[in-house]
Amino acid sequence: MEARHQDQPPHLLHFSEDPGITRFVPHVPATNPEQPPMVWTIDEIHAPLFWFPRECPRITFWSEDGTPADRLGATDAPRVHAIEERWLERMRTCELYVYRFDPRDFRPWPDADGYWVSAEEQQPLDVDRAGDLLELHVAAGIELRVLPSLQMLRDEVVASGYRFSMCRMGNAQP
């Protein structure tokens, strides 16, 4: 599946629990050590992929045409996010910050929807609180499922044909 990106985003975003980052230095992600050092951001359309505590394992999937993503359970929502129940309290209390960047020095990363990268050090335009993570989901019409484990859903999502993202799965229950 070819990665999709927002056309000409007005700005790019980075989410962090640290509100005091003044410069972003290219780095190699621990989960993808074959990649060259880069600064990683996300476009606004795909920003909900990061409305979670950083280490929270999550599975997100969505329909491409905005219709309900109901092949994996009844829902009216076009987008579904799932976390494990042991992360629910952290979702309620997490202070997440959103950094905004000028997109001119970034290029789309071809391996994942919405990711943009730069090989150069970057300074954010500004930083603000992201807000209540559960309320962000509600306001965006995203169904948030709270499951005992993500393992069964993982295989179902891969086979579903939906666009999806899975983050921090190494932190998921076995």
Q: What is the pLDDT of residues 13-57, one digit of tens each?
A: 999 999 999 999 999 988 789 989 999 999 999 999 999 999 999
* Residue 152 tokens, joined: 């069964």
Query: Is the model's pLDDT at 68 over the cut of 90?
Result: yes
Pairing of strands 126-129, 143-147: unpaired
Residue 2 has pLDDT above 80, yes or no: no
DSSP H or E segment with residue 157 = helix 151-160
pLDDT of res. 6: 87
Average pLDDT over every residue of 85-102: 98
Cβ pair 116, 105 in contact under 8 A:
no
Give me the residue spans of the domains in the chain: 12-16+36-171
pTM for the full model?
Answer: 0.93
The reported pLDDT for the residue numbered 13 is 98
Strands of 17-159 (E only): list them. 39-42, 58-62, 79-84, 97-101, 107-108, 115-118, 126-129, 143-147
Beta bridge partners of 80: 61, 143
> In sequence order, what are the beta bridge partners of 19?
none
Other Cβ atoms closer than 10 A to 149? 14
Q: How far apart are CA 153 and CA 26, in angstroms?
A: 33
